[in-house]
Amino acid sequence: MTADPTNRSSLKRFAWLSIAAALTTIVLKAAAYQLTGSVGLLSDAIESLVNLAGAVMALAMLTVAARPADEDHAYGHSKAEYFSSGVEGTLIMVAALAIAVAAVERLLSPKPLDQVGLGLVVSVAASLVNLGVALVLRRKAKEAHSITLEANAQHLMTDVWTSAGVIVGVGAVALTGWIRLDPIVALLVAANIVWTAVRIVRASVLGLMDTALPSGEREAVKRVLHGHTANGVQFHALRTRQSAARRFVSVHVLVPGAWTVNEGHQLLERIEADIRGTLPNASVMTHLESLDDPSSWDDEELDRAG
């Protein structure tokens, strides 16, 4: 049986896994830097420090998101996950700046590399750790609709590609003897990290801004509603938003004025059940209105007209 995606408490163990991976790779990459003196490998180690900070933040926010709804947070605490991804994206940008500064300094004052072979072996081992954890986090993020784990997985995958680039760069330095290639690779790594950070922060901002559900999911809701438009039934004021794993849908349903309250209520029950069956983890709110009352058409917008 698949675990309930809205149970954020169960996700905390994946944040602990990320923390363990970050600590392991920090040790390995720092050792690789000490062995070689490569600023590229130093940039890799710095990013692992950011991985650790991001994983700790993810653990904290998943703990908050797991709290049940209460009097002050009637819709739950799931939005806490967006803070985690936003902070992680910002930390990634800070890491990119630190890498760029170190790379420029080394570009201006190049230094030869030492023990390249052993350093690269250690770096490859760290990359394999990150790759394995990233794949686990990405699979769980998709299953649980967790932007926190998704951001963490994206960051770790970026770290894997970063490490691959650094390894190629350091290897090229060893083969060609062109030592300025090492800081140049580090600058490219910094640029790639910034791009990842921008995507993570953008996703976080969209969630905090109550962005509507993706167009495909909105169309699925409309198909459900159109399936209930017999006997003159209409709908308007369809609004959607997403908060981490939880989806929210609200709609006004207009029925003939001669209908009884019970008839209208039964229709809304069917509509809500059908929408929940179409969209996992959806909270659906419907409002019943009469087709015969002109005021029913005054509230199609967010703020009631007049």
Say how far apart CA 159 and CA 126 lie, in whole Å. 10
User: Any idea where the domains of the chain sit in the sequence?
Assistant: 8-208, 215-299
pLDDT recorded at residue 286: 95
Residue 93, CA distances (Å) to 1, 38, 206, 273 in order? 39, 21, 19, 44
pLDDT recorded at residue 1: 33
Say how far apart CA 189 and CA 39 lie, in whole Å. 11
Give the CATH number of domain 8-208; options: 1.20.1510.10, 3.40.50.1970, 1.10.4010.10, 3.30.300.30: 1.20.1510.10
Phi-psi region of 119 (alpha: psi -120 to 50; beta: other; left: phi over 0): alpha
- Residue 286: its H or E element: strand 282-290
Gap between the terminal Cα atoms of the chain: 51
Residue located via tokens 């490859």: 124
**Do residues 178 and 77 lie in contact, with contact meaning Cβ atoms separated by under 8 Å?**
no
pLDDT (tens digit, 9 = 90+) per residue, 148-197?
A: 788 788 778 877 877 777 777 777 777 777 877 777 877 887 787 788 78
pLDDT recorded at residue 302: 66
* Successive 10-residue mean pLDDT values, the chain, 306 residues: 51 87 87 76 74 82 81 80 79 77 76 67 84 91 80 78 73 76 77 80 81 90 91 90 84 93 94 92 91 81 62
**Do residues 112 and 174 lie in contact, with contact meaning Cβ atoms separated by under 8 Å?**
no
pLDDT recorded at residue 115: 63
pLDDT (tens digit, 9 = 90+) per residue, 119-162?
A: 777 778 888 898 999 999 989 888 877 777 887 887 788 778 77
The residues, ordered by sequence, that sit 6+ positions from 101 with a Cβ below 8 Å of its Cβ are none
Q: Which fold has domain 215-299?
A: Alpha-Beta Plaits (3.30.70)
Say how far apart CA 137 and CA 154 lie, in whole Å. 9
